[in-house]
Amino acid sequence: MRVRAQQGEQNWNYPGGLLDLRWDKHSDELPTVKFGLQEPIVVDDGPRWRAIVGLGLETVPGEYLLYVKSGDSEEPAFALTFSVTQKRYELQQDVRDFDARFSTIEPKTELDFSNSVPPALPWRLPVQAQWEDSFGQHIVADVEDEESIQQNFVMLPEASLTSRANQAVVAPQNGIVSRIFEPQASTAANTNLKSICIDHGRGLYSILHNVEDLAVELGNGVIGGAVIGKLRSARNVEADRRSSVASSVLTPDQSSASDNSLARSLIWQCVLNNAYINPLILTQIDKT
């Protein structure tokens, strides 16, 4: 979705599900801010407070409220109003190698960062390369299917991996490694692949899929730019490609994880207050 705030020229909004809202301070104590049941990121912006809110792709266009309760005041909460307007995303039809399971990743964590310092911004790219940004596009696996899935990630395609084999993958920003698991579209050819979830605090997570040779463990603290693993080696990319060909010969009428090009790409997701947003936006947002 694309949002348009109604709070004056000091507000910046980004397409793809991010609202950046600022208002005058009435107190130096951190306010409590609610967007529905969620608590967005709130940071000190000098003479103003600043809230950064994730808006999911499923957000319905219309008027919305952000409730603010001043930290040291007995006054009732007040509301900031903003509107969400429709944004049209590209439609990709008859895409048979799309793995819908990426749309259901949960950035599970047992950490409580609700009272942590605000997440550092902007983010950096996990790999300095040209990322394929088709975030939000509608994927239809069957042209006769009335429903579609919206892509909630960006990717570094397989072709880029071959030319950048063994290049380091770095943390987008400071955080704690809160989850390490098998990629949902992993292949049998390489069991060394992992997905890494980094908790950046206050409901902000990054998830990177298909990382080799991890340099971190569960619970490790990382700083922005720290190496967390490597890109796929050229040898493993080629092995996966051969595995895909063999699988397509054995099961030509089936779509499996082994014939899915996503299983051979570096996938990057971002979750903010339980909403998937385009992680590339956070590489462009100004510093807090």
Show me where the domains of the chain are located: 2-85, 91-283
Say how far apart CA 122 and CA 75 lie, in whole Å.
34
Are 46 and 69 a contacting pair, CB within 8 Å? no
Across the range 70-94, mean pLDDT stands at 81
Please, which residues bridge with residue 53 across strands?
A: 19
Domain 2-85 carries which CATH code?
2.60.40.1590
pLDDT by residue (tens digit) across 202-245? Answer: 889 999 999 999 999 999 999 999 999 999 765 555 555 555 44
pLDDT of residue 165: 66
* Closest alpha carbon to 229 in 243, 210, 247: 210
**What is the DSSP annotation of the chain?**
-EEEESS-TT-EEETTTEEEEEEE-S-SSPPEEEBTTB--EEEEETTEEEEEEE--TTPPSEEEEEEEE-TT--SPPEEEEEEEE-----EEES-TT--GGGGG---------TTSPPPPSS---SSSS--B--TT-EEESSTT-S--EE---EEE-HHHHHHTTT-EEE-SSSEEEEEEE--TT--TT-TT-EEEEEEEETTEEEEEEEEBS----TT-EE-TT-EEEEPPPHHHHHHHHHHHHHHHHH-TT---GGG-GGGGSEEEEEEETTEEE-GGGGGTSPP-
> Model pTM?
0.82
Neighbours of 100 (CB within 10 A): 12
Domain 91-283 adopts which CATH fold? Glucose Permease (Domain IIA) (2.70.70)
Q: Do domains 2-85 and 91-283 have the same CATH topology?
A: no
Longest dimension (CA), the chain: 69
Average pLDDT over the chain reads 77
Say how far apart CA 10 and CA 17 lie, in whole Å.
18
pLDDT by residue (tens digit) across 107-157? Answer: 666 666 655 678 888 999 999 998 999 888 877 765 555 566 788 899 988
